């Protein structure tokens, strides 16, 4: 009914009625080793495929173990439906064995949630759950099903469609506002397109590309927007923000018009709010009206779906060509300035005879030519991947942007590999974060999922260590991982393949072999332990105040 072909699950006593009903089902059931991984895998499946991801867990600790995964999806607006099972309805509120109020617990981090009290309501609630998850600004929806409800029966009647009076997302932008923003663009001299994850979720990448090329406006992405505009395009400035490219951050600072599409002005992207784009008018296009002027005051708001609004902008552009007759000429100096920043302040790193993590990312890109799905963990590995891998297409980066969840990348890569069994899926990890959900090696091996895990092993919790180096006089409290496992032996213990790289000369050969086998694979890359991520905007500083080395 909803096109579900895969459920990521973990069984328990309260799930038995449902798991038994699925025994003869055509739905692919991936049994993970931890419930958090079930939700991350559903999340990764959704980000990679564009479909709603689904997970199923038992009551009590099974349900509470999902909270981190749910909050991760909520912060990044990812459509998933989580089915948690619950104790019998007559036991709810009695502190029964493995009872937890998962509806109350997840209320702050779900788009909506349900406790099913009558089996007759179950079909309608499932229809509503999928509708809410995928519509408007997407997000996670939880459905809690007591065991006696899952044991009951009724005549099955699945609704053809859903109408919720209190929930009517606006998809079509106001024509008057769109005309107003186009007139504002026409008279601007230093415009920048600032695009986020909404470009990905609405499928607006082609419209964005056409619009940017038509007017030759430079484009920057947030972390969540990477892949929404080709990373090798001449108009692309790279990612903006705390670890953004110099050109992107300076373009925002010096711009006279920011055209923000599908982004929420996250603090990691804006830096010091009071000094964000101080010379610019700001246009904000977003399907979520609550995001507009929430963090940054907006001059021209447009509520609507990014794809629909961009289509309308392109149509109006053709109908009002006379307004843009001198536009290209007016922004010539701006384009030259932006290109000067790009050419003179590129992303770089110092080669000093040690194996640098940035080099490893560059070689992954060159070996794959960008034709891979990349997941990341969180920290330095995440930022180096965002900086040095050129994401050419949407839905090719899976990363926890809002919550910053260590342990996200590996189970997310499992979800992506399930969605695209023939694609190359690579998890770029750190030696700290990979251990958060490393038990999922058993899941990947059991289901013959050839996920590749490239560990940038610096024997530190690298991003926290970087802050300690820069701001805490190198007092490396709690960040030195002085006892880590032998990741090659660990991979082999699970039945996966394991490789180790310690020298730059071996990078290409080992990665080529790892990427071309058909097994779950760990590549343990021993990199410079004190390498830092640059550029860096210190916390609370404006984007222009970047540390470059």
Asked if residue 45 lies in contact with residue 415, where contact means CB atoms within 8 angstroms, the answer is yes
Q: What are phi and psi of 538, to 5 degrees?
A: -60, 150
Which candidate in 8, 35, 342, 417 is catalytic?
35
Q: How many angstroms separate the CA atoms of 242 and 244, rounded?
A: 6
**H or E stretch including 526?**
strand 521-526
Which candidate in 83, 99, 147, 436 is catalytic?
147
Q: How many angstroms separate the CA atoms of 276 and 125, rounded?
A: 43
Q: How many angstroms separate the CA atoms of 459 and 245, rounded?
A: 27
Residues in the chain: 549
Asked if residue 305 lies in contact with residue 199, where contact means CB atoms within 8 angstroms, the answer is no
Active site annotation includes 250: no
Which candidate in 98, 177, 439, 446 is catalytic?
98
The vertex-483 CA angle with 482 and 489, nearest 5°, equals 135
For 461, the 3-state DSSP assignment is coil
Token digits of residue 5 = 């072909």
Q: How many angstroms separate the CA atoms of 126 and 528, rounded?
A: 50
Which candidate in 239, 313, 463, 546 is catalytic?
463
Which candidate in 1, 90, 97, 489 is catalytic?
97
Q: How far from the centroid of its chain's Cα atoms is residue 288's Cα? A: 18
Token digits of residue 83 = 């089915």
| Torsion 77-301-196-45 (CA) sign | positive
Active site annotation includes 463: yes
Asked if residue 366 lies in contact with residue 389, where contact means CB atoms within 8 angstroms, the answer is no
SS3 content of the chain, % helix, strand, coil (to 5): 40, 15, 40
Active site annotation includes 98: yes
* Residues annotated catalytic, as ranges: 35, 97-98, 147, 463
């Amino acid at each position: 009914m909803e096109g579900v072909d895969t459920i990521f699950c973990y069984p328990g006593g309260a799930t038995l009625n449902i798991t038994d009903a699925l025994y003869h089902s055509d739905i692919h059931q991936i049994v993970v080793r931890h419930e958090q991984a079930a939700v991350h895998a559903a999340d990764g499946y959704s980000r990679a495929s564009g479909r709603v991801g689904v997970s199923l867990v038992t009551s009590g600790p099974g349900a509470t173990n999902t909270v981190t995964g749910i909050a991760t999806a909520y912060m990044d607006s990812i459509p998933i439906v989580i089915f948690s099972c619950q104790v019998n309805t007559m036991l709810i509120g009695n502190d029964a064995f493995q009872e937890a109020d998962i509806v109350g617990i997840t209320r702050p981090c779900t788009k909506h949630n349900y406790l099913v009290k009558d089996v007759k309501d179950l079909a309608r609630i499932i229809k509503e759950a999928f509708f809410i998850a995928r519509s408007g600004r997407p997000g996670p929806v939880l459905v809690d099903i007591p065991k006696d409800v899952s044991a009951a029966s009724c005549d099955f009647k699945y609704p053809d469609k859903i109408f919720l009076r209190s929930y009517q997302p606006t998809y079509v932008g106001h024509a008057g506002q769109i005309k107003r923003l186009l007139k504002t663009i026409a008279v601007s001299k230093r415009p920048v397109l600032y695009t986020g994850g909404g470009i990905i979720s609405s499928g607006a990448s082609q419209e964005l590309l056409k619009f940017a090329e038509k007017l030759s406006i430079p484009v920057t992405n947030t972390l969540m927007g990477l892949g929404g505009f080709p990373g090798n395009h001449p108009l692309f400035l790279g990612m903006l923000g705390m670890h953004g490219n110099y050109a992107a951050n300076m373009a925002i600072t010096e711009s006279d018009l920011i055209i923000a599409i599908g982004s929420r002005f996250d603090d990691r992207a804006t830096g010091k709010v009071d000094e964000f784009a101080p010379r610019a008018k700001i246009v904000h296009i977003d399907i979520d009206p609550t995001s507009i002027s929430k963090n940054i005051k907006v001059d021209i708001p447009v509520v609507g779906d990014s794809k629909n609004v961009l289509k309308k902008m392109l149509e109006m552009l053709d109908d009002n060509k006379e307004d843009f007759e001198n536009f290209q000429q007016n922004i010539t100096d701006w384009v030259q300035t932006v290109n000067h920043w790009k050419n003179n302040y590129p992303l770089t790193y110092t080669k000093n005879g040690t194996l640098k993590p940035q080099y490893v990312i560059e070689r992954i890109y060159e070996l794959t030519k960008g034709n891979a799905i990349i997941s990341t963990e969180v920290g330095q590995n995440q930022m180096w991947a965002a900086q040095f891998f050129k994401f050419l297409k949407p839905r090719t980066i899976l990363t926890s942007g809002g919550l910053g969840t260590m342990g996200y990348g590996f189970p997310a890569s499992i979800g992506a590999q399930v969605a695209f069994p023939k694609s190359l899926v690579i998890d770029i990890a750190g030696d700290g974060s990979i251990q958060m959900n490393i038990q999922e090696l058993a899941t990947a091996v059991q289901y013959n999922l050839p996920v590749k895990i490239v560990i940038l092993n610096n024997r530190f919790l690298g991003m926290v260590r970087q802050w300690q180096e820069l701001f805490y006089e190198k007092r490396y409290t709690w960040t030195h991982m002085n006892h880590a496992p032998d990741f090659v032996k660990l991979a082999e213990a699970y039945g996966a393949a394991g490789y180790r790289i310690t020298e730059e000369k071996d990078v290409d050969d080992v990665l080529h072999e790892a990427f071309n086998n058909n097994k779950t694979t760990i590549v343990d890359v021993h990199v410079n332990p004190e390498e830092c991520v640059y550029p860096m905007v210190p916390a609370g500083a404006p984007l222009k105040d970047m540390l470059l080395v």
